[in-house]
Each structure stands twice: as structure tokens, then as C-alpha cells.
Amino acid sequence: MRRLTILLVSALVLSIASALVSLAAQGQTFTSENVDYTLELPSTAWRVVQEADSVHQHTEFIYGDRTDGHLKIRKEVVDEGTTASDLAKRDQEQKLRFIPGYVDGKEERFAGRLNGVTISYEYTSGGKPMAGRTYYLQADNRTIYALRFTALRDKLSRIRNQTDLIARSFQTKQ
């Protein structure tokens, strides 16, 4: 009986380890010569739809379909001493509150390779309930990266672990 228990526990541990290795292998690292950062995309469902170039100053990704998950990354050069929280408040006051059906969410501290804050909010687009979650990551005293995730409200909540993972993995190139 004891050997059977040991065998079952061993098999369970091996299958969990195998699943974790398989999940890790599905991710991919994104970088480009046109950007000064790298990040991890946790699944092959994430794909680049627009890279930063001389015309577009941001990179965009989608998760399957744009309504399932959309990520736009912008580098914000700010006045010295501006914090990620300051930029989040400015965006809420100057941009977000004008989106149709906008409902303000809360600001939370966020820790990853770069630290900052995140805000969540809801809005409507074409009569559909949407949600947004923006990570403001402070690179230095003059640079903040805004990672803006949007999707249908119920779908954004389903991929929250992936949005957190992407934001935690985000780092500037050395």
C-alpha cells in the first residue's frame, strides 16, 4: 500500500512538472530593434499586429481577436519627478473620462521588473461592455511605459493572469 502511494505521488509530481515545462515552452519573448524593451508573451495566441517605427510610436498585440484582448504599448517621456501614479491620474482626467460609458476603476500599486501602478476601468464600444487595464511602469525619473490592455469586459477578466505576467516581464534593454 505504501509503495502504491509513493508511486501515485511520484506520478502526480512528474505530471505537474511536465505540465509546467509545457506551459513555459508555449511562451515567447518579444523584442525588436525598433523598441528599447523586451517582454514575455505567455501564449502563442498573442501576436504582434503593429510594431513601432518612424511613423507609429507604439507597438500593438492582440490575443486571438481584438475583442478577446488588445495591448498597446507606449513610451511616455514625462517631466522629471513625474510618477507613474501622476501619469495615471492625468490620463484619467484628460483621456479616459471622455470614452463613452466610462466607469472609473481603482488604482493599485504594481511590482514587476519595473514598478508602477495599474488602473482598471469599464466603458462601452459599439454597445458592447468593454474593460481596460493599464499598467504604468516607471523606467526612470523621465520615462514611463504605458501598457494598455482592452477587451470585452468578461474576456479581459479571464486573461488577467496573462496581462499581469506580461507586465511583470516587461523590462528595458540594457
Q: What is the pLDDT of residues 93-133, one digit of tens each?
A: 999 999 999 999 999 999 999 999 999 999 999 999 999 99
Place of cell 505530471: 15
Q: Is residue 7 part of a domain?
A: no
Cα(19)–Cα(148) distance, rounded to whole angstroms?
30
Q: Is residue 1 part of a domain?
A: no
Per the prediction, the chain carries an average pLDDT of 87
CB 122, CB 133: distance < 8 Å: no
> pLDDT: is 56 or 45 the higher one?
45
Q: Is residue 100 part of a domain?
A: yes
CB 164, CB 69: distance < 8 Å: no
Q: Is residue 14 part of a domain?
A: no
Give me the CATH number covering residue 88: 3.40.1000.10
In the predicted structure, residue 31 carries a pLDDT above the cut 70: yes
Q: Is residue 123 part of a domain?
A: yes
The total of structural domains in the chain comes to 1
Instruction: Determine the pLDDT at residue 22.
Output: 43
Q: Is residue 18 part of a domain?
A: no
Q: Is residue 88 part of a domain?
A: yes
In the predicted structure, residue 62 carries a pLDDT above the cut 50: yes
The CA–CA distances, whole Å, from 12 to 6, 15, 16, 154 equal 10, 5, 6, 33
Instruction: Determine the pLDDT at residue 34.
Output: 86
Domain of residue 60, residue span: 27-172
Q: Is residue 5 part of a domain?
A: no
